[in-house]
Amino acid sequence: MSTADDDRTALDLLDAHLECLWRAACELQRGYRAVVPEAPRGLEGRAADRATTELLRWGHGELTRIPRSPADVFARSVGSSLMELRRRRSPWNAAALRLLENPYVFLATGPRNHEDWGEDVLQLMHREVPDPRGWLRIDVDRTNDARHALPAYPFEPPSAAGFRARLHQLEPAGAVTALAVMAEDWNDDRPVRDRPERDALLADAQLLLDRYGPDTQFWTNALDAASDPARDFVQAGLKGTRVHGFITCEYINGLDLLEELGLIAVSGDEVGVFWSFGAY
């Protein structure tokens, strides 16, 4: 294993521990019992790269400083440390969090393993493959017990062969605006087009999509892209977007999923899935 692999493994261990700690803290905050995991031994000294070593030391310091009570402070502190670690790991992570940390979205990248990239998208929706670079995923439903009934929840996708019938190709400029508009909530009264940080959000969306390379194809389930592959989603706004459906119609855990907008990036090596949900 290379030193780069060792460094990534070390950061993955820290990230995984903080996430387990955060989930335990959230359970305690809700008044449930939870086992608070111990930190892996020697966590601050596992890396070969100096920058990684410093990041691990920072993370170890955070672990020693996090208050274990009251439960709400514990959960908030762990969550803050986890997000900060993910921001510091890569500029791509930082851009993803600036753009999409708050809305209800799904963000994941996986390897391109199949000639029919619909198979790769299905693997991502079923959480079957890791990010090839170890970068951030945003997926609040990964541990949702709704997945016992619907493994791809909140998606209820067609077979891979049915993807093309529900998608339209976007030009790169249209893809950037489709991703940037996902910074909105479906009931948001602050559309991206009117925000002072509009250009910064578009720049973050561009940075995220640059990951996949200049020959990437972009696809969306938005109906208007059929006649306008360069559609400016930011100018149009998220509300009222008409789509081919990929999400479940089932009423689960008190949520109806009524709205969505999806963007799929397909390169020769990777497939990225970005999806925004309106839930009530």
In Å, the largest CA–CA distance within the chain is: 57
**Residue 213: pLDDT above 70?**
yes
Which residues lie below 8 Å from residue 179, measured CB to CB, with a gap of 6+? Answer: 99, 205, 208, 209, 263, 274
Q: What is the pLDDT of residues 74-113, one digit of tens each?
A: 999 999 998 899 899 999 999 999 999 999 999 999 999 9
> Computed from CA positions of residues 39, 41, 44, 49, in that sequence, does the dihedral angle turn out positive or negative?
negative
Please state the separation of Cα 29 from the chain's center in Å.
24
Please identify which residue in the block is written with the tokens 């996430």: 19
Token pair for residue 269? 């090596």
Residues of the chain above pLDDT 70, percent: 96
Token pair for residue 14? 């820290």
Residue 278 CA to residue 280 CA, distance in Å, equals: 7
What pTM does this model have? 0.90
Mean confidence (pLDDT) of the chain: 92
**Residue 45: pLDDT above 60?**
no
Residue 62 CA to residue 18 CA, distance in Å, equals: 10
- The CA-atom distances, in angstroms, between 198 and each of 204, 205, 225, 231 are 10, 11, 22, 17
- The three-class DSSP label of residue 2 is coil
Q: How many other CB atoms sit within 10 Å of the CB of residue 197? A: 12
Q: Return the pLDDT at 225.
A: 98
**Residue 1: pLDDT above 50?**
no
> Computed from CA positions of residues 118, 124, 126, 128, in that sequence, does the dihedral angle turn out positive or negative?
positive
